[in-house]
């Protein structure tokens, strides 16, 4: 997931570059970018001056070679970026086969960690909440099961985030996908309006956990939300 402080740092760096060193900046190429970075930049690029926007190019791995050759002579573009340059020892110190091996090792390590956390196959979702709209995630939990979440609104404007838990022994056939939340306030755990957050909830008893991201206080503005939510099995269940 894209960390909002990192996005803020990127935007502030761009502003300072073009404010104090505008004549020194020809083009800024950010290559091999993951989809999340490109998505976040599209949201916030509107706050940058048009002249800055024209000089910033964020492209994925597929478009990296063509973009590099567009602005840099192919003879000066490293071969791993689609060019023909092969400097002795590597065009960029620490980048090349050694880095690829390290990246593969880190990928295996990350996959192992995700497997241990029950996070395999979990993807970061990009959600657009229209004005007056909400997004719900409903989990039926056994005692000891845990739901983990993290989210951020890239623009920094927080939506209302609420957690509800209904014990199974109090279940009365509530349809949590459709019920008006004002009718189930007695089950609310917390309600706040952060621009980002990460936490987890472990069920002390069997029941239903409901996570709600709410943009109903906004009459006109849509909010973009990046989130990752998944359920971990309890140790007893895993065993």
* Region 183-210 average pLDDT: 88
Q: Are 187 and 144 in the same domain?
A: yes
What is the C-alpha separation between 131 and 195, in angstroms, rounded? 16
User: Is 239 a residue whose pLDDT tops 50?
Assistant: no
User: Is 181 a residue whose pLDDT tops 50?
Assistant: yes
Q: Are 144 and 77 in the same domain?
A: no
45, 66, 101: which is the final residue of a domain?
A: 101
Q: How confident is the model at residue 238 (pLDDT cuts 50, 70, 90)?
A: very low
| Predicted pLDDT at 122 | 64
| DSSP letter string, 133-164 | -EEEEEEEE-TT-EEEEEEE-TTS-PPEEEEE
Q: Are 81 and 38 in the same domain?
A: yes
101, 116, 146: which is the final residue of a domain?
A: 101
Percent of the chain with pLDDT strictly greater than 70: 77
What secondary structure letter does DSSP report for 37? Answer: H
Q: Is residue 110 in some structural domain?
A: no
* Region 58-69 average pLDDT: 86
Q: Are 94 and 129 in the same domain?
A: no
| Higher-pLDDT residue of 103, 175 | 175
* Region 3-18 average pLDDT: 71
Which CATH number fits the domain that encloses residue 84?
A: 3.40.525.10
Count of domains for the chain: 2
69, 101, 133: which is the final residue of a domain?
A: 101
Tens of pLDDT, residues 20-60: 777 787 888 888 887 777 777 777 777 777 888 888 888 88
Q: Are 74 and 23 in the same domain?
A: yes
Tens of pLDDT, residues 95-122: 555 554 554 554 444 444 444 454 445 6
Which CATH number fits the domain that encloses residue 173?
A: 2.60.120.680
User: Is 125 a residue whose pLDDT tops 90?
Assistant: no
Tens of pLDDT, residues 207-237: 999 999 988 777 777 787 888 888 876 555 4
Burial 44-53 (b: 16+ CB within 10 A, else e): beeebeeebe
Q: Are 85 and 140 in the same domain?
A: no
Which residue range is the domain that position 52 belongs to?
4-101
What is the C-alpha separation between 89 and 203, in angstroms, rounded? 55
Q: Are 89 and 186 in the same domain?
A: no
| Predicted pLDDT at 237 | 45
Q: Is residue 187 in some structural domain?
A: yes
| Predicted pLDDT at 20 | 76
């Amino acid at each position: 997931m894209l960390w909002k402080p990192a996005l803020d740092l990127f935007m502030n760096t761009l502003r300072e570059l073009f404010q104090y060193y505008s004549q020194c900046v020809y083009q800024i190429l950010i290559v091999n970018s993951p989809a999340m970075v490109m998505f976040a930049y599209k949201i916030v690029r509107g706050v940058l001056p048009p002249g800055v926007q024209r000089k910033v190019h964020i492209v994925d791995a597929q478009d990296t070679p063509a973009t590099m050759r567009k602005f840099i002579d192919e003879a000066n573009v490293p071969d791993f970026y689609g060019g023909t340059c092969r400097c002795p020892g590597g065009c960029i110190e620490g980048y090349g086969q050694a880095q690829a091996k390290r990246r593969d090792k880190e990928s295996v390590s990350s996959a192992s960690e995700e497997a241990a956390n029950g996070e395999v196959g979990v993807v970061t979702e990009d959600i657009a909440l229209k004005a007056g709209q909400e997004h719900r995630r409903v989990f039926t939990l056994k005692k000891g099961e845990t739901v983990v979440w993290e989210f951020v609104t890239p623009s920094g404007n927080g939506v209302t985030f609420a957690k509800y838990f209904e014990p199974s022994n109090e279940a009365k056939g509530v349809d949590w996908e459709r019920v008006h939340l004002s009718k189930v306030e007695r089950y609310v755990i917390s309600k706040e309006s952060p621009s980002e957050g990460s936490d987890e909830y472990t069920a002390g008893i069997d029941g239903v956990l409901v996570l709600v991201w709410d943009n109903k206080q906004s009459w006109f503005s849509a909010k973009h939300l990046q989130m990752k939510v998944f359920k971990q099995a309890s140790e007893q269940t895993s065993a």
